[in-house]
Chains A and B, each alone.
Chain A
Amino acid sequence: MVGSGRQLGGSRLVTAATEALTDPALEAAVATPEFELANIRQRKRRGLLIALPAYIYLLIFFAVPLITVIIYSFATRNRFGGADLNNWNIDSYRELGDDLIRTILLRSAGLAILTTIICLLISYPFAYYMATRSEKVRNLMLVFVMIPFWTNFLVRNYAWYVILGTDGPFSQFTEFIGFGPTRVLFTQVAVVLGLVYGFLPFMILPLYASIERIDGRLIEASRDLYANGWQAFRNVLWPLSLPGVVAGSILVFIPSLGAYVTPHILGGTKGTLLGSYIVTQFLTARNLPFGAAMSTVLMIIMLAATILYFRKGGRTL
């Protein structure tokens, strides 16, 4: 994507340069088909040259690791924490049918869907409010949405660890208002809370971008035609903001599905999630092929979701 984009830009630059050069001396040559061909070939070559850094980057940091993961997923575990690369088989993929894996996958997916829905419920009114404010307020609110990104994700998760801990501020607060001390840390509730907190901006931003672009007069028109608030939302605002909803949901769902840091820090006894299980395969079971197979499947799920994103949401954003 990045590469081809750059290449187009590059070709255009090259064209401009050749045009400047061709003037008046080579004017006669322009008409001949040989010159045209040579010109096109040269343009392509220069385009490639300009795109080369992007290609090399993608090759080293994306293609090679990805292919390595896929190749390892067909290898055989050995006890040295590596994999035997001569005994190819699909056992690792067969193991994915285990009840254990299905349970973990369903649990992770359920948690990711819950996170996505909560994010959507919080973000939609917020994004709508933000989109309907004056530009000054709007920009200020955008900054507030971004501020958490200035702090490392890991540090923010540890902040929740402290807040939710026994005798932490949260427990003290609930005790103060009469609900007694609460134990939220190390439960699934804490995990969902952490995930929602972490990924909320990924929902707010596309929703905001999508709602902000809607012509407010359409909603006014629907009200003029005696639509009540709910009907105006249901029939005008919601369908028009759907690309933002889809984009935001996918941007939240994908990282939630493979989340590792948040469940690791805030999660409790019950409920191994996909991310932790994959880490276990690499760092405890020394089962590289199986870990690689799980990662491959997870990537395929994410790829499917991303394709959906570009079909439904990405185009209008």
Chain B
Amino acid sequence: MATKQTRWAALLAALALLFSACGDGEGGGGESSAASAACEVGQVDGDLALYNWAEYIDPEQLDAFGQEFGIGATMTEYDSNEAMLPVVSAGNSGYDVIIPSDYMVGIMIDGEFIQPLNFDAIPNASNISDDFANPSYDPNQSHSVPYQWGYTGLAVDTAVVGTDFPRTWDLVFGDSVPADAAGKVTLLNDPRETMGAALKALGYSLNTTDDAQLDEARNLVSGSKENVLRFDTDSADELLTSGESAIAHGYSGDMFTQFLETDDPSRYVFFVPEEGGTRWIDNMAIPFDAPHPCTAHTFINWLLDAEQGAALSNWNYYGTPNKAAIDLLDDELNEFLTDPSVLPGGLSSVESIADTGDFETNYTDAFTEAVG
């Protein structure tokens, strides 16, 4: 009957579609990694489409860029590197500039999903602080420039916990959680961050690929569960200031902006525990098939300007990699960034998350097992 024929036709058409789609996707970037875009300083070749994390740039600053160069500037938001990756790698994403985190830059360079930058069009790259030059994930600094950086650590409500507490991971792991905070701890709903915190608490690297160490970390998280209110990434900051939680594992800038929205910001403190934590760097990069590469270069150069870099940090309250911008930061932000009590273990105690290849799934499973 007709239905039988059409069923077969449908199946064949579906397979044909599928394989043609796979064929496109397989090569990943496709474009050769050798050449960077031939652009001049300040040249624009169309409207800017920025693909960025939520609340990471002042919309007015974005408008200001568009007005200065007489083009439109729009932004779309994503909430994780993993959500951004497939959108860009599939091609035809239409984005000119993306903001991948450290380890994701490495992945995207290897997959040829981002193009090499033409530094002739980015003279302001000289403003990048030496601490951020040639990072491990982009050793020649050829494909990315730093955007903002921050720490992952603990935020504490001193009205509940008091001010006399150890600045260590013991605050959230094991038996030493303050009685007032029992059941009011939030940890990030992120395998790498939360397993990483436990690994740090145990004195290991947060990029370990050792199963025994990961097992130990899993048991630590699992054994601390009764004190955990929730594993939450999106609203850890709001839960803290609304009183649902008393100790929150979270990102520095998120916490700090949230503190400032309350009546009494001094009630809350943020720090990276002594044993260490995560320092991450988000970067600007250009997708391999960006429709307006020159606009993208111009935008990157513009944001690396001292004034614009400072405006960026003064709005999102993350650290700036721009050494020329530091003098222009708000006093309270500068105080926070340079306060030694924020990083009691010193710079050597923090690590950046690196891609562990196939071991990544071990982290996810360990975390799922720990959560229960």
Give Cα distance in the complex from A64 to B18, angstroms: 7
Give Cα distance in the complex from A132 to B2, angstroms: 47
Q: How many residues of A contact B (CB 8 A)?
A: 46
Asked whether A77 lies within 8 Å of B358 as measured between CB atoms, the reply is: yes
Interface residues of A in 9-45 (CB under 8 A from B): 44-45
Asked whether A268 lies within 8 Å of B2 as measured between CB atoms, the reply is: no
Residues of chain B within 8 A of A4, CB atoms compared: 3
Known: A58-B10, A63-B11, A269-B225. A80 touches B85 (CB 8 A): yes
Asked whether B83 lies within 8 Å of A67 as measured between CB atoms, the reply is: no
Closest Cβ–Cβ distance, residue B11 to chain A (whole Å):
7
Interface residues of A in 296-311 (CB under 8 A from B): none
Residues of chain B within 8 A of A281, CB atoms compared: 364
Asked whether A285 lies within 8 Å of B364 as measured between CB atoms, the reply is: yes
Asked whether B2 lies within 8 Å of A44 as measured between CB atoms, the reply is: yes
Asked if A197 lies at the interface with its beta carbon under 8 angstroms from chain B, I say no
Interface residues of B in 75-126 (CB under 8 A from A): 80, 82-83, 85-86, 89, 107, 110-111, 113
Residue from A4, A165, A183, A186 having most chain B Cβ neighbours under 10 A: A186
Give Cα distance in the complex from A183 to B360, angstroms: 35
Interface residues of B in 179-205 (CB under 8 A from A): 183, 190-191
Residues of chain B within 8 A of A269, CB atoms compared: 225, 228-231, 371-372
Asked whether A59 lies within 8 Å of B364 as measured between CB atoms, the reply is: no
Asked if B13 lies at the interface with its beta carbon under 8 angstroms from chain A, I say yes
Asked if B357 lies at the interface with its beta carbon under 8 angstroms from chain A, I say yes
The dominant DSSP class at the B interface is: helix
Give Cα distance in the complex from A183 to B242, angstroms: 15
Which residue of the partner chain, among A59, A82, A186, A286, contacts B230 with CB atoms under 8 Å? A186
Interface bits A279-305 vs B (CB < 8 Å: 1, else 0): 011111111001000000000000000
Closest Cβ–Cβ distance, residue B311 to chain A (whole Å):
32
Asked if B211 lies at the interface with its beta carbon under 8 angstroms from chain A, I say no
Residue from A82, A167, A269, A270 having most chain B Cβ neighbours under 10 A: A269
Give Cα distance in the complex from A77 to B356, angstroms: 13
Asked whether A63 lies within 8 Å of B230 as measured between CB atoms, the reply is: no
Asked if B244 lies at the interface with its beta carbon under 8 angstroms from chain A, I say yes
Closest Cβ–Cβ distance, residue A295 to chain B (whole Å):
16
Which residue of the partner chain, among A3, A167, A282, A287, contacts B243 with CB atoms under 8 Å? A167
Asked whether A284 lies within 8 Å of B355 as measured between CB atoms, the reply is: no
Interface residues of A in 234-279 (CB under 8 A from B): 268-272, 277
Asked whether B368 lies within 8 Å of A286 as measured between CB atoms, the reply is: no
Residues of chain A within 8 A of B159, CB atoms compared: none
Give Cα distance in the complex from A282 to B364, angstroms: 11
Which residue of the partner chain, among B26, B110, B371, contacts A272 with CB atoms under 8 Å? B371
Asked if B346 lies at the interface with its beta carbon under 8 angstroms from chain A, I say no
Asked whether A283 lies within 8 Å of B83 as measured between CB atoms, the reply is: yes
Asked if B14 lies at the interface with its beta carbon under 8 angstroms from chain A, I say yes
Residue of A nearest to B26 (CB): A85
Asked if A100 lies at the interface with its beta carbon under 8 angstroms from chain B, I say yes
Residues of chain A within 8 A of B46, CB atoms compared: none
Asked if A48 lies at the interface with its beta carbon under 8 angstroms from chain B, I say yes
Residues of chain A within 8 A of B228, CB atoms compared: 269
Asked if B260 lies at the interface with its beta carbon under 8 angstroms from chain A, I say no
Q: How many residues of B contact A (CB 8 A)?
A: 48
Give Cα distance in the complex from A277 to B11, angstroms: 30
Asked whether B14 lies within 8 Å of A64 as measured between CB atoms, the reply is: yes
Which residue of the partner chain, among B18, B107, B364, contacts A280 with CB atoms under 8 Å? B364
Give Cα distance in the complex from A2 to B243, angstroms: 52
Known: A7-B3, A277-B368, A284-B82. A79 touches B360 (CB 8 A): yes
Give Cα distance in the complex from A183 to B230, angstroms: 12
Give Cα distance in the complex from A155 to B85, angstroms: 28
Residue from A4, A282, A286 having most chain B Cβ neighbours under 10 A: A286
Closest Cβ–Cβ distance, residue B152 to chain A (whole Å):
16
Closest Cβ–Cβ distance, residue A277 to chain B (whole Å):
6
Asked if B265 lies at the interface with its beta carbon under 8 angstroms from chain A, I say no
Asked whether A166 lies within 8 Å of B360 as measured between CB atoms, the reply is: no
Asked if B6 lies at the interface with its beta carbon under 8 angstroms from chain A, I say yes
Residues of chain A within 8 A of B14, CB atoms compared: 59, 63-64, 67
Interface bits A185-205 vs B (CB < 8 Å: 1, else 0): 110000000000000000000
Residue of B nearest to A11 (CB): B2
Residues of chain B within 8 A of A47, CB atoms compared: 2
Residues of chain A within 8 A of B364, CB atoms compared: 280-281, 284-285, 287
Asked if A232 lies at the interface with its beta carbon under 8 angstroms from chain B, I say no
Residues of chain A within 8 A of B225, CB atoms compared: 269-270
Known: A268-B229, A284-B82. A79 touches B372 (CB 8 A): no
Residues of chain B within 8 A of A44, CB atoms compared: 1-2
Residues of chain A within 8 A of B243, CB atoms compared: 166-167
Asked whether A283 lies within 8 Å of B82 as measured between CB atoms, the reply is: yes
Asked if B22 lies at the interface with its beta carbon under 8 angstroms from chain A, I say yes
Closest Cβ–Cβ distance, residue B185 to chain A (whole Å):
9
Known: A64-B18, A284-B80, A286-B82. A271 touches B360 (CB 8 A): no
Chosen A-B contacts, 6 in total, with CB atoms closer than 8 Å, are A55-B10, A63-B11, A64-B17, A104-B368, A284-B82, A285-B364
Closest 4 CB pairs of A and B: A285-B364, A81-B85, A80-B111, A270-B372
Besides A59-B10, A79-B358, A165-B242, 20 other A-B contacts (C-beta < 8 A): A63-B11, A63-B14, A64-B14, A77-B358, A79-B355, A79-B357, A82-B28, A166-B244, A167-B243, A269-B225, A269-B228, A269-B371, A269-B372, A270-B371, A271-B372, A272-B368, A280-B368, A285-B360, A285-B361, A286-B360
